Amino acid sequence: MKILVVGDIVGSTGRRVFKEVVSRLRDENVVQAVVVNGENAAAGNGITLTLAEELFKAGADAITLGDHAWGQRELESTISGEKRLLRPINMPPGTPGQGCVTVQTAIGSFVAVNLMGRVFMNPADCPFRAMDALLAALPRNIPVIVDFHAEATSEKIAMGHYLDGRVA
C-alpha cells in the first residue's frame, strides 16, 4: 500500500495545490491513501469543518492537526462529528475529538495517529506515554502512521528512535 503523507497545508494556495496533486495521484493510482496536516488550512490558523470537508473531497483520508488545532473557534464544537479529523492524541482528557482513526482502503487498513510534542508547544500530555497506550490497545498486525507535530528537532528525533520498529 502506498500512503501519501502531506505536511502543513497553508491557506487557499495550499488547498488548491493539494487538490490538484492528490487528484492526479489518485487518478493514476499512484497512492491508495492520503494523510494530510491541515492545521493551517484556514489562512495559516487552524481549520474549519467546511475546509476539512474540502480536503476530504479532494482525496484526504485523514486530516491531522497540531498546536493550531483550535485556531478557528467553531472547531471545538464540530470536531467530534468528523472522526477523520484528528487532534493530537496526547491532549488532556476531555478534549473534544479523537487522536487516531482506522483508515480502510481497497488493499487493507492502517491507523493514522496525530501526536504533538511538548518542547516550545502548548501544554500537552506526554506523547511517549500516549503512544505506548495506543500501541498496547491496537492489534499488532495493523500498520500505524504517525504525524508527530513538534517544534524541537531533538524531540522529533527522540520520538523517531522511540517508535522505530513499532510503527510504519
* Segment 7-23, tens digit of pLDDT: 999 999 999 999 999 99
The DSSP result for 8-44, as a single string, is: --BHHHHHHHHHHHHHHHHHTTS-SEEEEE-TBTTTT
Q: What are the residue numbers of the active site? A: 68
Q: Can you tell me whether residue 80 is helix, strand or coil? A: helix
- pLDDT tens digits, 27-78: 999 999 999 999 999 998 999 999 999 999 999 999 999 988 888 988 988 9
pTM of the model: 0.95
Does residue 159 have a pLDDT over 90? yes
Per-residue model confidence (pLDDT) at position 73: 87
